[in-house]
């Protein structure tokens, strides 16, 4: 019997060499300028992650065109050649630390606000988003879909030109490509909807375009292993998506779950971060202070609660998908201890583990795991970090009430 690899053993993804099996999962940092170029603060953060032991860094999501920009401040963008020089400095700084860096590419689709972006939201079908419900998104035309396909391809070309070690397509969490994959948000009856193969077509054409222009340049994907939307993603369909990704040339899949409309399904925690919502959420910041105690009591009744368990909640889906594909599988979601990360690899549930909140709490957590000074993240899963990015750059709040905001 072959012994399972250790969590700290070197490994490869599509030719990318990693010094261990810990990956910093894509996390919106809010550290870009108005054009979407990375600020010095982002470079400093990535250097802390690289020096802190991460095997690889996946950037926060970068928009492929202005239409797909998120409504939070400071989103990275990769829609223009003019951005390449700023990114090149960032990539070179990380590479000097011996760590690969992968750019996540995304289009927010209906999960953004035209009041912020100045552009009407779009989607595969005119289905109102549960959370970003201010307007009915416009159904994409054939030409609109083609423009988005080209935007992803061109963004990947810029990433390769810049020196990024690969790109990751964001097919999870209810953003545009996930909206195409989901039977809940994709109700089309043309060649872009209906069967799983038709719903996947936009992804396959993006992959084909990248392959045509960049050959074997590493392309990863982040997908939902499941969600709780009616007619949404289920594990058996996620296996099919992963197989189609593998057939299209994808070199690894990261398994997450949930959509923004499901509340804290993506980043689970023991309680609703009420104080952060009042401080930063676009729906609640304007509420009179006298009403806030009342709303705080009602909120758990009207807001989708964080489902349990809080730890390792995507490992079962990752394990199921890993049994069906031959490319590496990356598990993310509530993996906060060295024991759980090591067990995920040893048990064959995943080939790599990725983390977000533990790295927000301490960018050096992997080094502390390795030298034995820490055995678990000190993140309390308060999720203030996930809410406060609506107003200011990413940081760990340690559960503190954001009174200064």
The answer to whether the beta carbons of residues 246 and 325 sit under 8 Å apart is: yes
Residue 195's Cβ-count burial label (10 Å; 0-12, 13-18, 19+) is exposed
d(CA 334, CA 321): 18
| Candidate list 87, 175, 217, 226, residue with the active-site label | 175
CA distances from 12 to 165, 201, 212, 215 (A): 12, 28, 23, 18
Query: Per this entry, what is the length of the chain?
Result: 405
CA distances from 155 to 65, 68, 158, 209 (A): 9, 13, 5, 11
175 among known catalytic residues? yes
The number of CA neighbours under 13 Å toward the Cβ of 71 is: 24
CA dihedral 243, 246, 251, 257 (to 10 degrees): -30
Phi, psi of 20 (to 5 degrees): -155, -175
Which helix or strand (DSSP H or E) is residue 358 part of?
helix 357-361
Give long-range contacts, CB 8 A cutoff, 24+ apart: 34-37.
35/77, 35/80, 35/82, 35/83, 36/62, 36/63, 36/69, 36/75, 36/76, 36/77, 36/78, 36/79, 36/80, 36/83, 37/77, 37/83, 37/86, 37/87
d(CA 180, CA 44): 36
**φ/ψ bin of 284: left (φ > 0), alpha (ψ from -120 to 50), beta (otherwise):** alpha
Give the residue numbers annotated as catalytic, written as ranges.
175
């Amino acid at each position: 019997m072959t012994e399972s690899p250790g969590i700290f053993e070197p490994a490869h993804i599509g030719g990318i060499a990693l010094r261990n099996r810990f990956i910093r999962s894509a996390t919106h940092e809010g550290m870009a300028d108005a054009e979407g170029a990375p600020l010095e603060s982002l470079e400093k953060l990535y250097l802390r992650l690289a020096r802190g032991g991460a095997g690889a860094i996946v950037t926060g999501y970068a928009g492929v065109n202005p239409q797909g920009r998120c409504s939070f401040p400071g989103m990275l963008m990769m829609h223009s050649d003019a951005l390449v020089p700023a990114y090149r400095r960032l990539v070179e700084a990380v590479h000097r630390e011996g760590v690969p860096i992968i750019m996540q590419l995304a289009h927010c689709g209906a999960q953004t606000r035209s009041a912020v972006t100045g552009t009407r939201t779009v989607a595969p079908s005119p289905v109102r988003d549960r959370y970003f419900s201010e307007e009915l998104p416009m159904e994409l035309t054939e030409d609109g879909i083609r423009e988005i396909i080209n935007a992803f391809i061109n963004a990947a070309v810029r990433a390769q030109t810049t020196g990024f070690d690969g790109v990751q397509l964001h097919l999870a969490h209810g953003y545009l490509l996930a909206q195409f994959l989901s039977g809940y948000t994709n109700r089309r009856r043309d060649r872009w909807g209906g069967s799983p193969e038709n719903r996947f077509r936009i992804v396959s054409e993006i992959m084909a375009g990248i392959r045509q222009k960049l050959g074997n340049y590493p392309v990863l994907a982040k997908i939902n292993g499941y969600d709780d939307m009616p007619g949404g993603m289920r594990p058996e369909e996620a296996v099919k998506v992963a197989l189609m990704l593998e057939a299209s040339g994808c070199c690894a899949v990261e398994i997450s779950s949930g959509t923004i409309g499901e509340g804290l399904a993506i980043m689970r925690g023991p309680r609703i971060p009420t104080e952060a919502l009042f401080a930063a959420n676009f729906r609640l910041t304007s509420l009179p202070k006298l009403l806030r105690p009342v709303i705080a009591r009602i909120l758990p009744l009207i807001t989708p609660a964080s489902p349990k368990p809080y730890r390792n909640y995507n490992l079962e889906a990752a394990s199921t998908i890993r049994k069906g594909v031959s490319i590496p599988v990356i598990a993310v979601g509530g993996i906060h201890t060295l024991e759980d990360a090591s067990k995920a690899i040893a048990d064959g549930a995943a080939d790599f583990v990725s983390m977000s909140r533990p790295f927000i709490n301490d960018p050096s957590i992997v080094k502390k795991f390795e030298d034995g000074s820490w055995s678990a993240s000190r993140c309390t899963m308060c999720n203030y970090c996930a809410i406060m990015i609506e107003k200011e750059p990413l940081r760990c709040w340690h559960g503190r009430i954001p009174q200064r905001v």
